[in-house]
Amino acid sequence: MSGHNESILREPLITGTHITYAKITNDILLPVENKPNRAWWIGFIAALCGATLWVVAVSYTFWFGIGSWGLNKTVGWAWDITGFVWWVGIGHAGTLISAVLLLFRQNWRNSINRSAEAMTIFAVICAATYVVSHMGRPWLAYWVLPLPNQFGSLWVNFNSPLVWDMFAISTYFSVSLLFWYTGLLPDIATIRDRATGLRRRIYSIFSFGWNGNVKTWQRFETVSLILAGISTPLVLSVHTIVSMDFATSVIPGWHTTIFPPYFVAGAIFSGFAMVLTLLLVARKVLGLENYITMFHIESMNKIIILTGSIVGVAYITEFFIAWYSGSEYEAYAFINRSTGPYWWAYWMMMTCNVISPQLLWFKKIRLSIPATWILSIVVNIGMWFERFVIIVTSLHRDYLPSSWAMFYPTWVDVSVFVGSIGVFFTLFLLFLRVLPSIAIAEVKLLLKTSSEQAKLAQIKEGHLDKVHVKEYVESLEKFDSVKQEEYAKI
C-alpha cells in the first residue's frame, strides 16, 4: 500500500514532523479520554440553554396548537418550513464529503468526514423535528406512513411530493446513520482497547466486537464504497424532492423547473459553510491543527465559491425567466420579492449568498481563519434568508389582493428556530466528547504517503526536481501548523 511515494506537488494532508500511528490515536482521542476543558463547558451550557428553549417552545406549540405561530391564512408556511429546508440543506455537506469525495478519491476528506457526517445526522434530526411539530397533532405522526388511512382502505397519496419527502428524509437519515456508524466501528474498538473498567464494557458493546482482521477490513472497504455509491444519488435526490415540495405546486415563484439543481447547490453551499463554522473552532479547541490543515480549509472555501456562484446563477436565471416567460404573475412575484415589502430579505439573501462569498477568490481571505469563519456564518444567514424569501414572499401576495398579508413571527417561532440551533450544538458537543471527531483509521492511511514528514523524507533523499521542491515549499507557506524554519535551509 505504501510502497510508493506520493508526488511532492501535492500538499500534505497531515502536517507535523514527528507523527506516528500512536500519536494520531493519542491526539484524536484526547478529548474523548480526558475531562472536558472550560471552552467545551461554556459551549455546552450555552447550547443546553438553547435546547431547553426548544423544548419549551415545541411543548407550547403542542399544547396550544399551530395557532401559537405567526401563520395566517395567506402565509400558511413560514419559519417552520424555512427551518426545515435550512437544516436539511446543512446536512448535505456531510454526505457530500463522505460519499462523493470518496468516489472521487479525494483523500483530504479522510480527516473531516467523521464530524461532517455527525453534523449531517444532527441537522437531519433538527429538520425532522420541524416536520413533526408542524403536524399539529404530532401523536398522529405515523399517518405519513403508507398505512391504510384510519386503518380503513384509503391510502396516502403517493403522487404527493410531501409523501415522497417522508420517504426521502427517512431513507436519508437511516442510510447516513448506517454509513456513519459502520465507519465508526474500528474507532470505537480503538477506544475500547485503550479503556478499562466500565468504559471498556460500554465501548465494547458499541464496537460490535470489531477486531480488525483482514477479512473484516476487506469487506469494510467494499461496504464503504458501495454505500458511497448509493449515497451520492441519494443526497442529490433528497434535496431534489425537498425542492419538489415547492416546484410541483402552481404558486408563482415556486413553479419552476430549475428548483432541483438550484436547491442541491444551495444545500452543499450551506453545508460546507456549517462544516467550516464547526471545524474552525473544533480544530483550535481540540488541538487538531495537524489533521485539519489550511489545505482542508482552502479546499472547502473553493467549494463554497463554486456552489455559491451556481446559486447566484440560479437566482439570476429565475429572475430572467420570470420576465422572459411573459407570465405576468411570475414576473410580479419576482418584482415583489426584490422591491416589495420583503425587499430587505431579498437583498440580504443576494448579499450573503452571491456577493460576499466572492471575496473568497482572494487568497488572503481564503486562507484567513477569522475571515473564513465570519463568511461561513454569513453564508448560513444568507441561506436561511433564501428559504424565507422563496417561501414567504411567494405566498404573502396571492391572486386575491384583499387577502394579501404580511408574516410576523411570534416568540414561539423565534424560539423554535433558536432552540433548534441549541439542540444541534448540544448533540454535536456531546459527540465530540464520546466519539472520535476524526476517523482515526482513515487518517492513519495517509501517514506514510501524504504527510508532511513523508514528503520531507523524500526531499532529504534528494533525486527530486528542484523546481518541484521549490513549489512544494512555497505551498507550505499557507499552513499555520508547519514550522517554516525546517524548510528555510532547503
Binding site for another protein (CB under 8 A): 1-3, 20-22, 25, 146, 153-155, 157-159, 161, 163-164, 167-168, 171, 174-175, 178-179, 182, 185-186, 189-190, 192-194, 204-223, 226-227, 230-231, 233-234, 237, 241, 244, 440-442, 444-445, 448
**Are 36 and 437 within 8 A, CB to CB?**
no
Rounded least distance, CB 169 to another protein, Å:
9
Rounded least distance, CB 461 to another protein, Å:
16
Is 208 or 361 the residue whose CB approaches another protein more closely?
A: 208
Rounded least distance, CB 247 to another protein, Å:
12
Is 195 or 365 the residue whose CB approaches another protein more closely?
A: 195
CB atoms within 10 A of CB 208: 12
Rounded least distance, CB 263 to another protein, Å:
14
Is 205 or 457 the residue whose CB approaches another protein more closely?
A: 205
Rounded least distance, CB 230 to another protein, Å:
5
The CA–CA distances, whole Å, from 245 to 81, 258, 309 equal 10, 13, 24
Nearest to 410 by CA among 125, 85, 70, 118: 70
Is 148 or 287 the residue whose CB approaches another protein more closely?
A: 148
Is 101 or 185 the residue whose CB approaches another protein more closely?
A: 185
Is 202 or 459 the residue whose CB approaches another protein more closely?
A: 202
Provide φ and ψ at 59, rounded to 5°: -65, -40
Is 176 or 393 the residue whose CB approaches another protein more closely?
A: 176
Rounded least distance, CB 207 to another protein, Å:
6
Is 61 or 437 the residue whose CB approaches another protein more closely?
A: 437
Rg (CA), the chain: 24
The CA–CA distances, whole Å, from 122 to 73, 162, 185, 295 equal 32, 21, 19, 26
CA dist 305 and 384 (Å) reads 18
CA dist 28 and 447 (Å) reads 14
Which amino acid is it at 355? I
Is 210 or 472 the residue whose CB approaches another protein more closely?
A: 210
Is 40 or 206 the residue whose CB approaches another protein more closely?
A: 206
Rounded least distance, CB 419 to another protein, Å:
29
**All cell numbers assigned to 420:** 433548534
Nearest to 286 by CA among 101, 429, 441: 429
End-to-end alpha carbon distance in the chain: 29
The CA–CA distances, whole Å, from 17 to 63, 132, 446, 455, 474 equal 59, 51, 14, 10, 17
Is 226 or 316 the residue whose CB approaches another protein more closely?
A: 226
Nearest to 440 by CA among 194, 127, 166: 194
Rounded least distance, CB 439 to another protein, Å:
10
CA dist 268 and 263 (Å) reads 9
Rounded least distance, CB 218 to another protein, Å:
5
Mark residue 350 as left, alpha or beta (left: phi above 0; alpha: psi -120 to 50; beta: remaining): alpha
Q: How wide is the angle at C-alpha 198 spanned by C-alphas 197 and 203, nearest 5°?
A: 105
Grid coordinates 514532523 are at which residue?
Answer: 17
Rounded least distance, CB 156 to another protein, Å:
8
Rounded least distance, CB 235 to another protein, Å:
10
CA dist 412 and 420 (Å) reads 12
Q: How wide is the angle at C-alpha 482 spanned by C-alphas 456 and 460, nearest 5°?
A: 15
